[in-house]
Amino acid sequence: MSLESEAFAAGAEIPSEYTCEGRDVSPPLRWSGVPAAAKSLALVETDPDAPDPAAPKTIYTHWIVVDLPPSDGSLPAGVTPDRLPAGAREGTNDFKRVGYGGPCPPVGRHRYFHTLYALDTTLQSLQAPTRAQLEQAMAGHVLAKAKLMGTYQKQKDR
C-alpha cells in the first residue's frame, strides 16, 4: 500500500499553505494498493517531535479520519466534513477540536507522519475519536499501513 501527496514529496518540506502560517488546510493525499480484504481505512497525522525535536516529549496528533472507503482513492486539499467520502468522519486532534490542525511547531524543524491504515473492519461506533480511542479500536484489525512523512519549520525559526 502506498500514500503520497502532490503537494510535497516524501521527506520534503510541507508547503506553508497546509500549516498555521498559511491557510491551515489539509494537504491533498492519494493512496493505492489497498488490500482486497480491507473494509475501511483510517488516516492519522502525527508529530513525534513535539514540543522540541531536540527533546521530544509527546506524539502530537494533527488529524484523524476514520471509515474512509477501502478502495484506492484520494482526499483533496482543504477537505472539509462535507467533502469527505460517504461514511468517513474526522476525529479529535490534540488541538482539542475535530478536524485538521496543520503543522505549527513551537521550535525547530518537526517531522509530520501521515499514516494510512487498512482495516478488516469498520469503526462505525467511533464518533470524533481521539488517537488513543482509534488505536484501541484498530488493535488486531490492521491489514496494512502506509506512511508519508513531511517536515516543517516556522519561517521565524529559519
pLDDT tens, 68-86? 999 889 999 999 999 999 9
Average per-residue pLDDT for the chain: 96
Q: What is the pTM of this model?
A: 0.96
Q: State residue 155's pLDDT score.
A: 87
Cβ(128)–Cβ(62) below 8 Å: no
Domains (ranges, CATH) in the chain?
A: 2-143 (3.90.280.10)
Q: Which of 137, 120, 148, 139 is nearest to 2 (CA)?
A: 148
Number of other CB atoms surrounding residue 67 within 10 Å: 21
Sequence-distant (6+) residues with CB within 8 A of 116 are: 1, 3, 29, 31, 41, 42, 43, 145, 146, 147
Asked if pLDDT for residue 156 goes beyond 90, the answer is no
For residue 118, what are the CA distances in angstroms to 15, 37, 110? 27, 9, 26
Phi, psi of 13 (to 5 degrees): -75, 135
H or E stretch at 132: helix 131-138
Distance CA 141, CA 122 (A): 9
Kindly indicate the confidence band of residue 132, based on its pLDDT and cuts at 50, 70 and 90: very high
pLDDT digit string (tens) for 15-33? 999 999 999 999 999 999 9
Could you tell me which residue, 72 or 136, shows the higher pLDDT?
A: 136
Res 72: pLDDT: 81
Which of 59, 1, 55, 8 has the alpha carbon at shortest distance from 29?
8
Is the pLDDT assigned to residue 109 strictly greater than 80? Answer: yes
